[in-house]
Structures are given as structure tokens and as C-alpha cells.
Amino acid sequence: MNTVKNKHQKYEALVNKTMVQETPSMLTDEAEFVSLLDTRPSFESLISYTMVVKQALEAEYPNEDVRLASYEFSGYYHNTVINHTTHWGEMVDKVNYRTVIVCGDIHLEFKEMSDTSVELWCIKINRSARGSGLGKDVMTLLQDIAEAKELDLLLVACSQGEPNYNMFIKRTIQLRKWYYELGFEAIENSAYMVF
């Protein structure tokens, strides 16, 4: 009983660590935007990938309103389990830029990584649409675009909002298996997976 309580306390502590400070900046200033494109190759990769994803979603779902936003983010904590015995976490203070696309039941968030890669920071499918194959369709679309643009698509498979530590581990491991089935590969000594 004591072990379960300790695991739950560790889980709660980890969840609390993921609460970070955001500094939103919608990048509406054209000069700032152009300056970032000129000085940060990783930002250019992020924006060009995101724009193609947005256009593809607009074509695929013409009856949905596709919204796009970008913002500055600093201080985040990557936190997940790799398997039943290995946990991985990393605190990063570096300022980076993110883009968010919302299209009907689909919510995507991307993070700048490098001039040759983009991170899929978050993919959410509304509960009402889960189990319909929409998530797999969206992932296939994202993979096809990354391949066409010759970019690595990175992600950290991590279940969110689970009621307890055991469910968090179970769902995260299920997610990792799902991403393996989609063609992602594990990066050694990391929770990152890459396509």
C-alpha cells in the first residue's frame, strides 16, 4: 500500500513539474517575423512545415475552420516513461517558438527544433472523434508532409490527463507502441521518437 501511495505522490510531483511559465507572443509584427526567418533556420523550418500542414488540412476538411497561431515559449519540462522501468525527464530553459493549428476535432502543436526537424509537441483529437481513425489519418498526413519537406518529425509519446500513475504508464506505453506501428523509431537514451 505504501508503494502505491509513493508512486502516486511521484506522479503528482511530475505532473506539477510540467506546469511551466508561458510567455505568449503572437508574432504579429512583420519585422520581428522576418527577422526570425533570417536569423533562426529552425524557425523557418517550423513555419514552412506548419503552413503546408495548414493548407493540407484546409484541403482535406473544407467544411472546417482551420486556425493557426504562433507564440514564444520558454521553460518547459519533457517528462515521460520509456518502458515499465525507465523514466525520462528534461528541463529546458531555451526560448523557442511554437505553432498551433486547430481544425474541427484536431488540435496540433509544433515546436521549433532545428533546420532539419520539427517536433510534434501535442496532438489532441476530441473525445467524440476518438476511435474513428482520425488520429491515424492526421499522423499519416503529418508524416507525408515531413517526408516531402525532408524534415525529421520528432515527438515524445506521453499520455496526458490520466487519473493515476499506473494509468499514465500504461497509456504512455500504448502510445509508444502506436507510434512504432506508424513507423517512428526510438532515439537512443531519450524519450524522443523520430520519423
| Residue spans per domain, the chain | 10-194
Q: What angle separates helix 41-60 from helix 134-148, to the nearest 10 degrees? A: 130
The tally of CA atoms less than 13 A away on the side-chain side of residue 93 is: 0
From residue 132, how far is each of 33, 61, 105, 138, 147 by CA, in Å? 38, 15, 11, 11, 25
Highest mean pLDDT among 26-35, 121-130, 135-144: 135-144
Report whether 118 contacts 153 (CB < 8 A). Answer: yes
**How large is the average pLDDT for residues 59-88?**
74
Q: Which of 92, 115, 105 is nearest to 63 (CA)?
A: 105
Highest mean pLDDT among 29-33, 75-79, 92-96, 167-171: 167-171
**How large is the average pLDDT for residues 146-175?**
88
> CA 23, 58, 195 angle in degrees (round to 5)?
70
pTM score of the predicted model: 0.76
What pLDDT shows up at residue 7? 44
Highest mean pLDDT among 47-51, 120-124, 149-153, 171-175: 149-153
Residues 18-62 have pLDDT tens digits of 333 333 444 445 566 666 767 777 888 888 899 899 999 999 999
